Amino acid sequence: TILLSLLSIELQAELSEKLNIERSSEVNDTKKQEYLKNNLELKDKILKLQNEKKILEDEKFVANDFWLLFSCSIGAFLMRGAGCTWNDILDRKIDGAVERTRSRPIPSGQVTLTQAVIWMILQISLAGLILLSYNLNSIILGLSSLFLVVIYPFAKRFTWWPQVFLGLAFNWGILLLFVAHTGSLSWPIITLYIAGVFWTLFYDTIYAYQDSQDDLLIGVKSTAILFGEHAKKWLFSFIQ
């Protein structure tokens, strides 16, 4: 596309020069007719080059879109896995005390702590390689999500709203993909991100009710314990 742009500029300069000659009173009619014919040919070449440039840009745009769709799907899968692994590492003692989670790989002894750490690093490394293929703003945004990933497992220890941290982390990909595509954020995509956070609050609160009795015994906080018997009112408010 750069080469086509340079050729187009060069042809336009040549066309301008010929038009100036054509307007000159020193040029006879035969020469003017010849210049007019050449000008029409140059205009046609410029138009063809501009069309070819547009086709190449469109093809590049489509190829980039396919890469973003594919790579973000893989990246989300890897970072979701890394986040879950990190959560399981930190919650291994808690998981061992909860009926539903004591059969998970780490508390059940199927996977050692060292193996889990290596697996988490591998997932993050692969996701990082994908992230480096995006623009600078996307890379900065992607790296900033690590704060949410790191802090989420601790949230249930200091707030009744750990589901908010989960929602912020899980839906970060909405912002990342948009910035990777456009280079910047806008209010509509931020609104969609906030909607995703509320959707996570909705479904993960329902999920948390499965462990509410065990969580009370071991001192873990959640929106399920906070809402108690008023869950329906809260859940409805999240999806209004």
Cβ-Cβ contacts under 8 Å for 192 (sequence gap 6 or more): 174
**Number of H-type helices and E-type strands within the chain:** 11, 0
Residue 18 clears pLDDT 80, i.e. is over it: no
Name the residue among 96, 120, 127 with its Cα closest to residue 110: 96
d(CA 198, CA 228): 18
pLDDT value of residue 7: 45
pLDDT at 55 over 70: no
pTM: 0.71
| Other Cβ atoms closer than 10 A to 168 | 21
pLDDT in tens, 121-168: 999 999 999 999 999 999 999 999 999 999 998 999 999 999 999 999
Minimal CA–CA distance to 154: which of 74, 221, 76, 226?
221
Distance CA 32, CA 39 (A): 10
